[in-house]
Amino acid sequence: MQDLPFDMQAGQPPFVVVQAEAADDRPLAVLVDTGNGAPYDVLLSPAAAARMKTVPAEGSDKSAAAIGAGPVTFAAQSVPRFRLGPVELRNASAGVSPAVDGVAKQVGRPIDAIIGHRFLAGRTIAIDYAAHRIDFAARVPGGEAIGFTLAPARPLTLVSVTINGHGPFLMALDTGASATLVSPAVARAAGLGGGQQVSLAGAGGLDSRGATLVQGRIALGPYARDGRNIGIADVIAPIQKAAGAPIDGVLGADFLAGMRITIDYGSNRLWIQPSS
């Protein structure tokens, strides 16, 4: 089988962490984050880069890249070999920063590396949240497809959703976010109220400690789910600025729990189906 298992512990946020191999053949814990738009094949923690003996990239010592809501400076490096399932890259571009360690703290588990849109671009991937498996060379399934676009300034996967029947709202599909997150203005437009103060986990570096957590009905294309967690926090404006798009919020992995999502980055289409 070409798909890979990923570790998702019961009661923990549904983050996709898989094992990759690098030049030293030792495993790397890699977070799959569709909300990461950094222009590198892989992002590495300083410890992982030192272990892998990366080398500086020619012509550039440092490069600014967007992670979360704001810019982070990465040291531009090169990895001789990086393999994740059926995908093997030679001389892969790598961005090295302590920001990866910060993501690990937010996710609540050790993370050596992060892959985002740069690695996924042009591929068809399938994440089965019930079976805990991910396929980086998936086949396009049958059934009705849902179209998406990419933000112009930062390649976020943008989809149109409704919340409690209101909308549509333009949301960034983010497997690195534990729950859906909207601005207070969108919450009012969707009729969301009440809730409790929480701190939401996320891989993007957003500070949502002051979020209010409510539940609502979220629909993406023909697929709708009741009782989904929705965080309300005033942190969307920096994402809009970084993406260059009027994003209303972030659609987190909680929406996909127990389901299988296939994303074709070659045709800008996705499918949501019951888990096999």
Residue 218 has pLDDT above 90, yes or no: yes
d(CA 5, CA 112): 17
* pTM confidence score: 0.90
The amino acid occupying position 129 is Y
Confidence bin at 18 (pLDDT 50/70/90): very high
pLDDT reported for residue 203: 47
Say what percent of the chain tops pLDDT 90.
Answer: 58
pLDDT tens for 229-269 read 999 988 888 888 888 999 999 999 889 988 999 999 999 99
d(CA 3, CA 126): 9
Confidence bin at 64 (pLDDT 50/70/90): low
Which region among 91-105, 185-199, 238-252 has the lowest average model confidence (pLDDT)? 185-199
d(CA 186, CA 271): 25
Give the residue, 186 or 239, on which the prediction is more confident.
186
Instruction: Work out the mean pLDDT of the chain and round it to a whole number.
Output: 87
Closest CA to 108 of 28, 24, 15, 208: 15
Residue 42 has pLDDT above 70, yes or no: yes
pLDDT reported for residue 143: 87
Closest CA to 13 of 249, 229, 236, 265: 229
Eight-state DSSP code of residue 245 = S
Give mean pLDDT, residues 216-233. Answer: 93
What is the set of domains in the chain, with CATH numbers? Answer: 4-135 (2.40.70.10), 146-274 (2.40.70.10)
d(CA 232, CA 210): 9
